[in-house]
Every structure is written in structure tokens, then in C-alpha cells.
């Protein structure tokens, strides 16, 4: 007797298939919609991924840019105290927070400098003021940045000093103005000799800035060591290149008795007498080096120059590299105001204000 199990399984499968068909006929619309949604979503995802790839990259780039801007802003905010300290260091070298204060202060300081140097004929005037705005105006965009774009960074005040006096006092005045602790820019210096060079007329123009509304944290006081440095240039300040030498003495004619009837012929006067310039000394073992003093080391139009003064006669001499003075041959000028010479004993250096015997050896580098 055989088992009926296989027939039941076949019947069960037939029943499941029939049920599925009946269910599909009943829900065919929903199945169709579900399949369409799945297919449409898949196709849309694939198409959209390609279509919006460039836009996605652009948006990601903007996000990175904004992140970088915020990072830079945070870094600049942390550096702000250092920037404020540097800015205040400049303000501490200015004369005041307003045009009235700076105008009064620059007059007072320049007048005091002239009085302390013993000058009697002087005047100090101030000129126009010029407001300077930020050079980065194009960086301030938008309505919120209008105030920063139009803000004045600083204002320049012009001043002029006119003074007449001896050469050494005028030189000291120029040095004193440069040694003053407040910020300034010397625009021009003009020296006009007067009274055959015994006096000099100085015209000095300068510009000093200030930041409106910002005051120095402490009063400006001149550094005494800088003022005392003028003593180093005492010999140079005492020299007077504007002095006109006195005319040469013309020999007087001596009348002598002449024979009776003979004409008296006076001695002929020298034609076009000219003052003789001191000749460049040549090598001579007996050369008077102690009588020649270095009064200046300058950078002239044709290069370095050394100014010499013959102390007994007061005559002056300017030499350039390659010129011999006795056994010394001038080679170059140093940044500290000294002159370097070649001598039989080796290379030596001579400072301004000393004579040609006061030499210091130069070590070979």
C-alpha cells in the first residue's frame, strides 16, 4: 500500500500557485505601482547623481572657503593684541591726538631747540595738514565696511624752521632736530651763506604725523645719550666750508729815488691774482701729519670723500680714494664715519676729528 504524501504535496503546490494568481489578479494595480516606483527611483538616482555632481562639487568648495574664512578670522582675532601693541608703539612717538595739539607741540619743541642752542634769529611756522586714508580701500566692500573704508589712518602736519647763526650752531640745530624722539620726515635742508660765510641761513622743512583720537601712553622725552652724540662731530661742526678766504695781500710799491731826468716806473702789479689752493701733499718722511685733521667723511657725487683741515693755516682739502697724503693713501670710507688708509705699516683707520697721526690698525678679515 503506497503513501498518499506525494499527492498532498502536489496538491498543496497547485493550491499555492492558484492563490498567488488570484492575489495578483486582485492587487495587480498596487504591484505595478510598486515596481514602477522602485524602477523610477533607481533611474532617478543614477541620472541625478550625474546631473548634480558639478553643483555638489561647487557647494563643497564654497563650504571649504567659508570654513577657511572663519579660521582666518579666528587667527586674526588672536593676533589683534599684538597688532594693537605695534600700533600703540607708533602712537607713543607722535605729538598728540588732534591737529591743535600737534601744531602747538611741534612749535614749542622746535622753538625750545633753537633757544637752547643760543640762536636769536629764528622762526618756526606750520603749514597745511594732509589727511591720509587707508591704501586698502578696495578691500572694504559692502555697506557695513563703509565706515572703515572712509576712516582716516593718520594726518600729516608740515613745519618749517628758519634760523640764522654761526655754522656750528646751525649744524647742531640740524642734529638736534634729527635726534628729537617724535616721528618726523625731514623733507629738505637749505643752507645759504651770509656775511662772507661767517653766518648761515637755514631753511629746514619737515613733516610729522599723528593719528586722530589716539594719544601717547607716556610723554616724549629726548634721549640724553643721543643728544650727547653731537660732541663726536664737534670738529666737523666747527669747520666752515662757507667761509670766504681773505684776499691775498698785494705787495706795495716802494718809491726809490731816480736819477735826474729819468722816468720812475712803478713795479708791475701781478695780473689776476688768485688765492692759491693747498696742494695735495706728496710722500715725504718729514710730512706734518699732526697738522692735518679729518673734519668729515662724506659720500659725494663722485664717491667717498675725506675732508682735511690744515690746523695752522685753516686751509681745507678734499681727497678721494687713491689720493696720497704723505705716506698715506686714502682707500675707502667706513659706515661709522672713519676713513681707511694704506700706510707703509699696513692698513689703518682714522676717525673724524683726529689728525693723521692718530691711527688704529685694521685687522685683516
pLDDT tens-digit readout, 208-234? 999 999 888 888 888 888 888 888 888
Helix (H, G, I), strand (E, B) or coil at 107: helix
Q: What percent of the chain has pLDDT over 90?
A: 32
The predicted pLDDT at position 257 comes to: 45
Which whole number is the average pLDDT over 18-43?
75
Provide the pLDDT confidence category of residue 253 given band limits of 50, 70 and 90: very low
Nearest to 96 by CA among 209, 219, 215: 215
- pLDDT at residue 8 greater than cutoff 70: no
Across the chain, how many H-helices and E-strands are there?
8, 12
Give exposure, 13-25, as e/b (b: 16+ Cβ within 10 Å). Answer: eeeeeeeeeeeee
Helix (H, G, I), strand (E, B) or coil at 255: coil
Give this prediction's pTM. 0.52
Give helix 53-91 / helix 28-51 axis angle, nearest 10°.
Answer: 40
Residue 105's CB is within 10 A of a number of other CB atoms, namely: 18
Sorted by where each starts, the structural domains of the chain and their CATH numbers stand as 28-91 (no CATH), 99-233 (3.30.70.60), 289-361 (2.30.30)
Residue 49's CB is within 10 A of a number of other CB atoms, namely: 10
314 touches 308 (CB < 8 A): no
Own/partner pairs, 49-55, CB within 8 angstroms, 24+ separation: none
Residue 119 CA to its chain's centroid (Å): 31
Give exposure, 113-128, as e/b (b: 16+ Cβ within 10 Å). Answer: bbeebebeebebebee
Task: Give the HSE-up count for residue 32: Cα atoms under 13 Å, Cβ half-sphere.
Answer: 6
Task: Give the HSE-up count for residue 182: Cα atoms under 13 Å, Cβ half-sphere.
Answer: 22
Angle at 301 between CA 316 and CA 177, to 5 degrees: 75
349 touches 338 (CB < 8 A): yes
The predicted pLDDT at position 359 comes to: 92
Residue 34's CB is within 10 A of a number of other CB atoms, namely: 11
The predicted pLDDT at position 56 comes to: 73
Using one digit for the tens of pLDDT, what is the confidence trace for 144-167?
Answer: 777 777 888 899 999 999 999 999
Which whole number is the average pLDDT over 272-282?
45
Instruction: Give the pairing type, strands 324-325 and 316-319.
Output: unpaired
Q: How far, CA to CA in Å, does 216 sit from each of 47, 62, 94, 107, 300?
A: 68, 44, 7, 18, 39
Helix (H, G, I), strand (E, B) or coil at 346: strand
Which whole number is the average pLDDT over 290-294?
91
- pLDDT at residue 266 greater than cutoff 60: no
Helix (H, G, I), strand (E, B) or coil at 30: helix
- pLDDT at residue 256 greater than cutoff 50: no
Amino acid at each position: 500500500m503506497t503513501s498518499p504524501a506525494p499527492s498532498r504535496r502536489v496538491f498543496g503546490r497547485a493550491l499555492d500557485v492558484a492563490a498567488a494568481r488570484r492575489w495578483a489578479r486582485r492587487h495587480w494595480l498596487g504591484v505595478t505601482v510598486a515596481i514602477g516606483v522602485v524602477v523610477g527611483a533607481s533611474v532617478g538616482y543614477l541620472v541625478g547623481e550625474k546631473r548634480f555632481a558639478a553643483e555638489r562639487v561647487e557647494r563643497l568648495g564654497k563650504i571649504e572657503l567659508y570654513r577657511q574664512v572663519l579660521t582666518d578670522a579666528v587667527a586674526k582675532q588672536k593676533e589683534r593684541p599684538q597688532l594693537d601693541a605695534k600700533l600703540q608703539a607708533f602712537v607713543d612717538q607722535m605729538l598728540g591726538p588732534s591737529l591743535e595739539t600737534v601744531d602747538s607741540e611741534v612749535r614749542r619743541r622746535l622753538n625750545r631747540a633753537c633757544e637752547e642752542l643760543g640762536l636769536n634769529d629764528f622762526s618756526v611756522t606750520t603749514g597745511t595738514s594732509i589727511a591720509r586714508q587707508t591704501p586698502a580701500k578696495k578691500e572694504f566692500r559692502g555697506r557695513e565696511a563703509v565706515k572703515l573704508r572712509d576712516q582716516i589712518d593718520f594726518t600729516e602736519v608740515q613745519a618749517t624752521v628758519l634760523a640764522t647763526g654761526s655754522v656750528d650752531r646751525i649744524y647742531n640745530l640740524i642734529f638736534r632736530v634729527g635726534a628729537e624722539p617724535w616721528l618726523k620726515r625731514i623733507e629738505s635742508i637749505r643752507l645759504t651763506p651770509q656775511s662772507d660765510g661767517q653766518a648761515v641761513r637755514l631753511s629746514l622743512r619737515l613733516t610729522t604725523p599723528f593719528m586722530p583720537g589716539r594719544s601717547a601712553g607716556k610723554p616724549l622725552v629726548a634721549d640724553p645719550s643721543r643728544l650727547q652724540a653731537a660732541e663726536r662731530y664737534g670738529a666737523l661742526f666747527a669747520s666752515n666750508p662757507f667761509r670766504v678766504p681773505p684776499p691775498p695781500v698785494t705787495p706795495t710799491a716802494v718809491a726809490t729815488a731816480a736819477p735826474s731826468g729819468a722816468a720812475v716806473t712803478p713795479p708791475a702789479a701781478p695780473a689776476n691774482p688768485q688765492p692759491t689752493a693747498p696742494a695735495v701733499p706728496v710722500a715725504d718722511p718729514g710730512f706734518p701729519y699732526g697738522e692735518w685733521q679729518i673734519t668729515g667723511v662724506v659720500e659725494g657725487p663722485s664717491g667717498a670723500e675725506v675732508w682735511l683741515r690744515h690746523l695752522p693755516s685753516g686751509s681745507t682739502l678734499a681727497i678721494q680714494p687713491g689720493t696720497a697724503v704723505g705716506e698715506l693713501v686714502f682707500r675707502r670710507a667706513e659706515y661709522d664715519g672713519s676713513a681707511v688708509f694704506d700706510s707703509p705699516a699696513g692698513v689703518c683707520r682714522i676717525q673724524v676729528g683726529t689728525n693723521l697721526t692718530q691711527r688704529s690698525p685694521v685687522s685683516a678679515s
